[in-house]
Structures are given as C-alpha cells and as structure tokens.
Homo-oligomer: A and B are copies of this chain.
C-alpha cells in the first residue's frame, strides 16, 4: 500500500510518500511546497493545488493521511491553515484518493511513542524508522509521520 502524508500550510506544505509491504515501511519520496512569499491567497492556493496534483500524479498514492488542525494557535494563522487544508482535501478528493484524518497526538505516538514529543524528536524518529540518509525538514517530517501513522493504524474513517 502506498500512502502520502500531507502537512498543509500557507507558507510551507510538507508531503511525504511511503510504501507499506507486510510490516515493512519503505520511504519513497518527500518534499515541500513553498508558494511565493508575497503571493495573494488565490495564487497560494492555485500553486499548492498544481504542485500537489503533480506529486499525486507521480506517486499514485492509495490513501492520504492528514493531521487535524492543532487548536492552540492564534485565530489568524488557524484560518490561514484551514483555508489551505480545505484546498488540500479538495485536491485529494479531485484525484479520488481517500483522506484519513489523525490527531497530532496519534501521529506523534505513532513515531515517537508519546504525544508530547518535540518537532526535532519527530524528525529524528522519522529518519530512523524510514532509514533516511539525512534529517527531513520539520514539515516534510510531519507529513511522513502522518503517513507512518496511517500505515500503523489504518483507520477507515474518511474525511
């Protein structure tokens, strides 16, 4: 089974693709989508849609794992992230890939073993689990962690 994890954000959208064969996880690819900093929201959303469509087209994942939004942010950045998240969910649905949602707690538990892990611990554990040569960036690591989480839990509840 091929899984893509996505960490939506208006500044950086991280993504990571893994394969699960039996109990073995294999890293396929990961990266970041970074719209132009001065871009208007219309352009940001269009750019993320295009880039993500291209990633999905190349990787052909069978499922998308997405963290749900962490509420402990200020309202402005919460709204910005939610707007991108809506577009990301639409883009996955447009490519007819089921989207499964996990809480930040579930994702951290899946890679670090407990829910209060720091970002750097997530990066380190993702590197170890997927036998990467170097530390993935924080956003790509979060995306890979969501994919690992889905590989382990395989919830069926669709978003």
Contact = CB atoms under 8 A, between A and B. Distances in A.
Interface of A: 40-43, 45-46, 49, 69, 71, 75, 78-80, 82-87, 89-90, 92-94, 98-99, 158-159
A89 B159 contact: no
| Interface secondary structure of A, over-half rule | helix
Contacts of A78: 75, 78-79, 82
A45 B80 CA distance: 17
A15 B3 CA distance: 37
Contacts of A98: 42
A92 B159 CA distance: 23
In the complex, the count of this chain's copies comes to 2
A100 B38 CA distance: 17
A67 B82 CA distance: 16
Given A41-B86, A42-B92, A69-B79, 13 more contacts: A40-B159, A42-B89, A42-B93, A45-B86, A45-B90, A46-B94, A49-B94, A71-B75, A75-B75, A82-B83, A83-B85, A83-B86, A87-B90
A45 B83 contact: no
A89 B83 contact: yes
* 4 interchain residue pairs of minimum CB distance: A83-B86, A82-B82, A86-B86, A42-B93
A126 to B, nearest CB: 26
B86 A82 contact: yes
Nearest to A79: B82
